């Protein structure tokens, strides 16, 4: 199965050499569950787009430092591609910025959250019947790194995951689009280094410190492998 990774951002320069790009992290995520995928990466933020939505069997939109309300030319083009992917019934995953721009493409509202930044290890409650979740889980924890979030979901979206901090943390559109606000592709060390890098620059000191506490707490662990299995199963349907 060929998966097209629509790269909307890249790892900060200070961390790129150690951890790879966000596209690399998506591939590493699926490697956790030995997913039998091949990949094609499209740097859409640089104007590199696939020729057609049918060019790959499934798609993933990565995270990004950009915000949806910037509405850059490449974002407008990406939203058209999202609708084309949906129209041809290809499976699509969205992570963080990907989660947000998919919601925006379908008429949802994305804006800075009044509660501020979400950073560190966050836990989410699963809701409803989700055929792609076959392990009986009712919660999961993964790394968060966002100031914006979906504040009004599109009419065609169903909530499958939420928390007190993030009401629309996971959305499903029909049986071919799955999105999450947080980052299953981030391991705890990368998240730690990223929060430390952004502390006092983009993220307020107290918020960063609280996020770092969740990452350093006794027993702290991410459910990245579990979420990777859900996502891989969703892609192969």
Active site residues: 96, 183, 185
How far is 120 from 211, CA to CA, in rounded Å?
4
Q: What number of other Cβ atoms are within 10 A of residue 202's Cβ?
A: 14
How far is 60 from 231, CA to CA, in rounded Å?
10
Going by their DSSP bridges, the two strands 139-146 and 92-95 should be labelled as unpaired
Residue with tokens 């969740």: 214
Contacts of 102 (CB under 8 A, 6+ apart): 61, 82, 92, 94, 171, 173, 177, 179
How far is 134 from 138, CA to CA, in rounded Å?
11
Residue with tokens 């804006």: 111
* Token digits of residue 131: 């055929």
Q: Is 90 helix (H, G, I), strand (E, B) or coil?
A: coil
């Amino acid at each position: 199965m060929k998966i097209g990774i629509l790269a909307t951002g890249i790892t900060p320069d200070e961390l790129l050499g150690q951890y790879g790009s966000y596209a690399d992290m998506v591939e590493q995520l699926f490697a956790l569950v030995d997913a039998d995928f091949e990949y094609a990466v499209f740097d859409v933020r640089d104007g590199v787009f696939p020729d057609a939505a049918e060019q790959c069997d499934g798609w993933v939109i990565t995270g990004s430092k950009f915000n949806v309300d910037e509405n850059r030319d490449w974002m407008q083009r990406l939203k058209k591609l999202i609708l084309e992917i949906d129209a041809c019934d290809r499976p699509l995953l969205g992570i963080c910025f990907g989660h947000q721009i998919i919601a925006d493409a379908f008429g949802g509202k994305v804006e800075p959250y009044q509660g501020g930044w979400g950073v560190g290890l966050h836990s989410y409650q699963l809701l409803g019947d989700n055929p792609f979740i076959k392990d009986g889980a009712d919660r999961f924890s993964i790394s968060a790194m966002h100031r914006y979030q979906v504040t009004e979901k599109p009419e065609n979206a169903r909530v499958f995951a939420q928390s007190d901090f993030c009401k629309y943390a996971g959305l499903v559109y029909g049986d071919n689009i799955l999105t999450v606000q947080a980052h299953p592709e981030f391991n705890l060390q990368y998240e730690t280094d990223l929060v430390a890098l952004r502390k006092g620059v983009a993220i307020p000191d107290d918020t960063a410190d609280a996020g770092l506490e969740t990452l350093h707490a006794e027993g702290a662990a991410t459910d990245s492998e579990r979420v990777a299995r859900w996502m891989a199963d969703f892609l192969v349907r």
